[in-house]
Amino acid sequence: MGQQQLLLIVLGVIIVGIAVVVGINLFTANSVQANQDAVASDVTNIAALAQQYFLKPASLGGGGNTFVGFAIPANLVTTASGSYEVSGASATEITVTGTGTVQDSDGNVAQVVVVVTPNAIGNATVTREAAGGGGDE
């Protein structure tokens, strides 16, 4: 082979390598965002369940105008998207927190927090938390 052909082969290999690296980075970024969106969706669904609990009379297994006693259904505590918990249950509000499963390039996962009241589901607050529960960044 001539030098020109070898140079073209090397150049082609370099271009393909760069394309593969860019593709992997795009896939990773997309999977992190998709996981964050899934956690936000699950948190919103759990928040709606909390509102249903609040509105349902105590005689029918609901809260009877209080969030105290609400528990996430067992099949929703941990899903493929993340893990979920409720805290701060009172007569007027409850906080739902979801933590994602897909780590970003820094090793952090999405954490989505929503405050629920009888008439509204608050805006989701999204933060990045060290995988394993090391606190907010």
Is 137 inside any structural domain? no
Is 118 inside any structural domain? yes
Is 123 inside any structural domain? yes
The CA distances from residue 90 to 42, 49, 72, 79, 85, in Å, are: 21, 15, 15, 26, 15
pLDDT tier at 137 (50, 70, 90 boundaries)?
very low
User: What integer pLDDT is reported at residue 1 of this predicted model?
Assistant: 67
Mean pLDDT across the stretch 112-124? Answer: 95
Is 110 inside any structural domain? yes
User: Where in the sequence is the domain holding 119, given as residue range(s)?
Assistant: 3-130
For β-strands 94-100 and 108-117, DSSP reports them as antiparallel
Is 136 inside any structural domain? no
- How many domains, the chain? 1
Q: For the chain, what percent of residues have pLDDT higher than 70?
A: 96
Is 62 inside any structural domain? yes
Closest by CA position to 106, among listed 82, 137, 84:
137
pTM for this structure? 0.80
